[in-house]
Amino acid sequence: MDYLAGLNPEQKAAVLQIKGPVMIIAGAGSGKTRVITYRVAHLIRSGVDSFNILVLTFTNKAAREMRERINHICGPEAKNIWMGTFHSVFAKLLRVEAEKIGYPSNFTIYDTDDSKSVLRAILKEMNLDDKLYAVNFVLNRISAAKNNLVGWQEYQQNDQIQADDQGGGRGKLGVIYQTYVQRCYRAGAMDFDDLLFKTNELLKLHPDVLNKYQHKFKYLMVDEYQDTNFSQYLIVKRLAAVNENICVVGDDAQSIYAFRGANIQNILNFEKDYPDLKIFKLEQNYRSTQNIVSVANSIIANNKEQLKKNVFSEKETGDKIKVMRAFSDNEEGKMVADTIMQDRSTNGMKWHDFAILYRTNAQSRSMEEALRKNNIPYKIYGGLSFYQRKEIKDLIAYFRLTFNPNDEEALKRVINYPKRGIGDTTVDRIIVAADKNSITPFEVILQPNRYIEKAPASLSAFAAMIQSFQVLAKNQSAYEAALYIAQHSGLLKDLYEDKSVEGLNRYENIQELLNGIKEFSEREDIEEKGLDVFMQDIALLTNDDKDKNKDADTVSLMTIHSSKGLEFPQVFVVGLEENLFPSQMSLNSRSDLEEERRLFYVAVTRAERKLSISYATSRFKFGTLINCEPSRFLDEIDARYLELDYSAKPAQSSFFDDERNAWSRKPDTKGDTFSKPKTATTPPPVKTTSILAKAHVVSKDFKIADTSNLQVGMQVEHERFGFGKVLNLEGNKPDVKATIFFKEIGQKQLLLKFAKLSIV
Per CB under 5 A, the list member of 11, 30, 33, 289 interacting with Mg ion is 33
- ω into 734 cis (within 30 of 0): yes
Tell me the window of 22-30, 84-92, 531-539, 585-593 that interacts with ligand ATP (CB under 6 A). Answer: 22-30
The answer to whether residues 462 and 430 touch, using CB atoms and an 8 Å cutoff, is no
Specify the DSSP element, H or E, that contains 485.
Answer: helix 478-488
CA pair distance 421, 400, nearest whole angstrom: 22
Handedness of CA 127, 130, 131, 135 (dihedral sign): positive
Nearer to ligand ATP, 24 or 446 (CB): 24
Print the SS3 string covering 429-474. Answer: HHHHHHHHHCCCHHHHHHCHHHHCCCCCCHHHHHHHHHHHHHHHHH
Smallest separation, CB 665 to ligand ATP (Å): 37
Q: Considering CB under 6 A, how many residues would be counted as binding ligand ATP?
A: 18
> Which residue spans within 286-367 are E strands per DSSP?
312-313, 321-326, 354-358
Nearer to ligand ATP, 25 or 138 (CB): 25
Smallest separation, CB 598 to ligand ATP (Å): 12
Quick one: what does residue 34 bind among Mg ion, ligand ATP, none, with the CB cut-off 5 to 8 Å set by partner type? ligand ATP
Paired strand residues for 55: 83, 221
φ, ψ for residue 705, nearest 5 deg: -65, 140
Tell me the window of 28-36, 135-143, 425-433, 441-449 that interacts with Mg ion (CB under 5 A). Answer: 28-36
Q: What are the residues whose beta carbons fall under 8 Å from the beta carbon of 588, sequence distance 6 or more?
A: none
φ, ψ for residue 73, nearest 5 deg: -85, -40
Q: Is residue 34 near ligand ATP by the rule CB under 6 A?
A: yes
Tell me the window of 31-39, 539-547, 665-673, 747-755 that interacts with ligand ATP (CB under 6 A). Answer: 31-39
230-240 vs 192-205: helix crossing angle, rounded to 10: 40
CA pair distance 56, 2, nearest whole angstrom: 26
Nearer to Mg ion, 247 or 755 (CB): 247
> 661: closest CA among 625, 637, 697, 631?
697
CA pair distance 222, 199, nearest whole angstrom: 17
CA pair distance 371, 340, nearest whole angstrom: 9
Per CB under 5 A, the list member of 565, 575, 650, 734 interacting with Mg ion is 565
Comparing every residue's Cβ against ligand ATP, the nearest one is 31
Distances (CA, A) of 111 to 36, 81, 395, 645: 30, 26, 15, 44
Q: Which residues are annotated as a binding site?
A: 26-33
Nearer to Mg ion, 36 or 492 (CB): 36
Q: Is residue 37 near Mg ion by the rule CB under 5 A?
A: no
390-403 vs 458-475: helix crossing angle, rounded to 10: 80
Smallest separation, CB 530 to ligand ATP (Å): 37
The answer to whether residues 654 and 663 touch, using CB atoms and an 8 Å cutoff, is yes
Specify the DSSP element, H or E, that contains 571.
Answer: strand 568-573
478-488 vs 390-403: helix crossing angle, rounded to 10: 110
Smallest separation, CB 39 to ligand ATP (Å): 12
Tell me the window of 25-33, 231-239, 255-263, 685-693 that interacts with Mg ion (CB under 5 A). Answer: 25-33
Q: Is residue 31 near ligand ATP by the rule CB under 6 A?
A: yes
Smallest separation, CB 591 to ligand ATP (Å): 21
The answer to whether residues 514 and 482 touch, using CB atoms and an 8 Å cutoff, is yes
Footprint of ligand ATP on residues 389-418 (CB under 6 A)? none
Per CB under 6 A, the list member of 14, 22, 23, 28 interacting with ligand ATP is 28
Nearer to Mg ion, 254 or 654 (CB): 254
Comparing every residue's Cβ against Mg ion, the nearest one is 33
Distances (CA, A) of 656 to 653, 695, 752: 10, 14, 23
Per CB under 6 A, the list member of 10, 15, 23, 30 interacting with ligand ATP is 30
Q: Is residue 12 near ligand ATP by the rule CB under 6 A?
A: no
Nearer to ligand ATP, 250 or 448 (CB): 250
Per CB under 6 A, the list member of 194, 251, 595, 596 interacting with ligand ATP is 251
Q: What are the residues whose beta carbons fall under 8 Å from the beta carbon of 87, sequence distance 6 or more?
A: 192, 195, 196, 540
Q: Is residue 6 near ligand ATP by the rule CB under 6 A?
A: yes
Quick one: what does residue 28 bind among ligand ATP, Mg ion, none, with the CB cut-off 5 to 8 Å set by partner type? ligand ATP
Q: Which residues are annotated as a binding site for ATP?
A: 26-33
- x/- letters, 509..548, toward Mg ion (CB under 5 A): ----------------------------------------
Per CB under 6 A, the list member of 286, 312, 351, 674 interacting with ligand ATP is 286
Smallest separation, CB 284 to ligand ATP (Å): 8
135-147 vs 173-186: helix crossing angle, rounded to 10: 80
Tell me the window of 5-13, 314-322, 430-438, 574-582 that interacts with ligand ATP (CB under 6 A). Answer: 5-13
Nearer to ligand ATP, 30 or 328 (CB): 30
Q: Is residue 573 near ligand ATP by the rule CB under 6 A?
A: no
Distances (CA, A) of 141 to 2, 128, 194, 539, 545: 51, 16, 14, 21, 29
Tell me the window of 27-35, 370-378, 602-610, 624-632 that interacts with Mg ion (CB under 5 A). Answer: 27-35
DSSP per-residue string spanning 69-97: HHHHHHGGGGGGSEEEEHHHHHHHHHHHH
Per CB under 6 A, the list member of 29, 333, 630, 724 interacting with ligand ATP is 29
Quick one: what does residue 29 bind among Mg ion, ligand ATP, none, with the CB cut-off 5 to 8 Å set by partner type? ligand ATP
CA pair distance 16, 28, nearest whole angstrom: 22
Q: Considering CB under 5 A, how many residues would be counted as binding Mg ion?
A: 3
Residues labelled catalytic: 32-33, 223-224, 254, 606
DSSP 8-class letter at 639? G
Quick one: what does residue 30 bind among Mg ion, ligand ATP, none, with the CB cut-off 5 to 8 Å set by partner type? ligand ATP
Nearer to ligand ATP, 33 or 52 (CB): 33
Tell me the window of 199-207, 233-241, 293-301, 558-566 that interacts with Mg ion (CB under 5 A). Answer: 558-566
In one-letter notation, the amino acid at residue 420 is: R
Residues that bind ligand ATP (CB under 6 A): 6-8, 11, 28-34, 251, 254, 286-287, 565, 567, 605
* Residue ranges in contact with Mg ion by CB under 5 A: 32-33, 565
